Amino acid sequence: NMDMLDHFFDIRKYSKKLFEGLSISNHSDLCDQWMNRYPTVFVSFKKVDCLDFNSAFNRLSTVITELFNQYLYLLDSEKLTDYQRSVFTHIANAQYTAEDMKNSLSLLLMMLNQYYGKKVILLIDEYDVPLQAAYQNHYCDEIVDFMRSVFSSALKTNDALEKAVMTGCLRISKESIFTGLNNFTTYSVLDNIS
């Protein structure tokens, strides 16, 4: 589903043929408004199921570094500040600090917003895998603190963000990791959405 949303929204793709003949193609106004109209960031945390915090931090950082390497073309933009270019380069080259990682998604969204002149759609898949692993292996406090910083900087009062979609097994609303974030709408597999 998240891959489908990525193909539907991403401004770098041309997905009309992919959705041709499907029900969504009958809603031309919706397709004209959303299909391939937004810079889109799709990141999955499914591989971050580690036994300790250091391993989890390293694996999360690898996921973010690989994500940044998909957007190297941003470095050619004259709209970037030297600071943005420097931090982006450090992250892309795996020479980051913990603080760089905490603000990484926010930075990427800001740079995409500047590059395209449009707000960004953020898709986060399996957001809860690091949390489940931390709970099972007794390093919850460290991972919750780190993930709260990542999500807060990307999702809270971020002017570059259009919409975000997060998937996972753990319920999002009222979880301690999301304190301070609001305007969530939660859907479960039991919800009938039409």
Residue numbers in the chain where pLDDT is lower than 70: 171-194
Query: What pLDDT score does 172 carry?
Result: 57
Q: Which two tokens stand for residue 51?
A: 């036994």
How confident is the model at residue 96, as a pLDDT?
94
Tokens representing residue 154 in the block: 């990307």
User: What's the pLDDT at 183?
Assistant: 58
Tell me which residue has tokens 């609001």.
Answer: 182
Burial 140-177 (b: 16+ CB within 10 A, else e): beebbebbbbbbbbbbeebebbbebbbbbeeebeebeb
State the pLDDT at residue 193: 58
pLDDT of residue 187: 58
117 secondary structure, DSSP code: S
Q: What is the pLDDT of residue 113?
A: 97
- 82-106 per-residue burial string, b: 16 or more CB within 10 A, e: under 16: eebeebbeebbeeebeeebbbbbbb
